[in-house]
Amino acid sequence: MTDDSTRVDRRSVLAVVGGGLLAGCSAPTTTDRSPRTTDDERTTEAATDLSVDTGWGMFGRNARHTSHSPDASGPRTDATQQWSHTCAQDQGDILGTPAVADGIAYVGCGRSVEALDVTTGAVEWSRTLSRANRFSPALGAGRVYVTIRGERAGLYGFARDGGDTEWHQPLQVVSAPVYADGTVYARTRTAGKTLRAFDADDGTEQWHHGRDCQPSDAVWSPPTVWDDTVLYLATCADGERSTLFALDRATGTERWHHEIDGVASRSAPAVADGVAYVGDNGGRLYAIDLEARRERWTAPLEGQLWTTPTIGHDTVYVGSVTGTLYAVDAAEGAVDWHRNVGLTYETAAFDGETLYVGGVNLQGVDPASGETLWRVNTTNTFSSQFASPAVVGNAVVATSCVKTDSQQTRYDNRIHVVG
């Protein structure tokens, strides 16, 4: 099986959340652009190497949401936290996957959006917004796109250099944004306009698509871009089935749709080799042939499949809310192995050698056996939850929400780099 945006050969040298979605956590607008180094714990010598970094541009790494970065080479054994940083507005909401490019991690961080140097942890800029952004940002040419809930809800385009607001579309957004070739896509809560496409330069709406019914509030999965097609899942508020829509990227015109016999609420379609993989709330994993427009197979697993599948070498990895991580043969749908890795709602990152899994702990997992190779815990805490990680260069970048003691009423939001 190939990764959709980079070469597919096994590398002689390897070189790092639903739907863009969720850690398991639940305070006037200002801008601080002065770089600063966090006082949080870090190693005395930076060991992060981004020399072969090809980036992690959005939830799932790319617009096909494969969560596979074959040019990265994250820690396989003896992982060590290089640094951690507590957000400027530390009491907030659910965290997503950092978007990383050119050595900078862009993070939805409680009530702020922050840009941090991956090697040193220095904060390049920070923007405080009204309410949390619970979704993963997406990177385009010179901009970072963020979806925000609350008083100043909507889709934002910030300058990657400095964090200035270049445009804002006020919307009731319900997914992470997705960027592809000059267009930004986002899910909204509006009947008849469930999916919208915007010009990435100025935020002008290009088209919208949706059912006439009221969309289910529980469906948070972002859209997926495959060649000249946009895929997204829709469910009516009172429905018991989901529909996978395939739209023309340029116009939003519906090309075809496929009914799924279940509700897929947070699992976005992940696409490789012309097949979309998606899980539902009943524990079923589907493989849908996008050329033939039919299901190839359905794998009955256990527990709600809220994570977006991760595409490996001829294997699909998906976790359930029961804490079980599954490795499923991509061609036939047979389960190769399954292992309890602890409570997780998170999509794994993959570099070809190791799976990186969030949840109560951040851990490295052997993709051939499911064996846990290492764990990173948040020390001196009462409880914690890691969101879907990214792997870039030789490092894993992840966010977490943490309570330091049982009396703490809100979670602190943190960013970690592990190498």
Q: What is the pTM of this model?
A: 0.88
Q: Is pLDDT larger for residue 318 or for residue 113? A: 318
Domains and CATH numbers, the chain: 31-418 (2.130.10.10)
pLDDT at 133: 60
Task: Please say whether the beta carbons of 144 and 155 come within 8 A.
Answer: no
For Cα atoms 55, 336, 282, give the angle at the middle one, nearest 5 degrees: 80
Task: Please say whether the beta carbons of 345 and 359 come within 8 A.
Answer: yes
CA distance 124 to 371: 37
Task: Express each pLDDT in 276-295 by its tens digit.
Answer: 999 999 999 999 999 999 99
Does residue 18 carry a pLDDT above 50? no
pLDDT at 144: 97
Please report, rounded to a whole number, the percentage of residues in the chain having pLDDT higher than 90: 57
Instruction: Determine which of 35-49, 50-64, 159-173 has the lowest per-residue pLDDT on average.
Output: 35-49
Task: Express each pLDDT in 238-255 by its tens digit.
Answer: 778 889 999 999 999 999
pLDDT mean over 107-130? 88
C-alpha 371 chain-centroid distance: 23
Q: How confident is the model at residue 410 (pLDDT cuts 50, 70, 90)?
A: low
Please report, rounded to a whole number, the percentage of residues in the chain having pLDDT higher than 70: 80
Q: Is 409 exposed, middle or buried (0-12, 13-18, 19+ CB in 10 A)?
A: exposed
Q: Is pLDDT larger for residue 71 or for residue 218? A: 71
Q: Is 170 exposed, middle or buried (0-12, 13-18, 19+ CB in 10 A)?
A: exposed
Does residue 404 carry a pLDDT above 70? no
Task: Please say whether the beta carbons of 402 and 379 come within 8 A.
Answer: no
- The residues, any chain, with a CB within 8 Å of residue 386's CB and separated by 6 or more, are 23, 346, 358, 359, 360, 361, 362, 398, 399, 400, 416
Does residue 150 carry a pLDDT above 80? no
Task: Express each pLDDT in 192-215 by its tens digit.
Answer: 889 999 999 999 999 999 887 777
Q: Where are the beta strands (DSSP E) in 22-164?
A: 31-32, 36-37, 81-91, 99-101, 104-109, 112-117, 122-128, 138-139, 143-148, 154-159
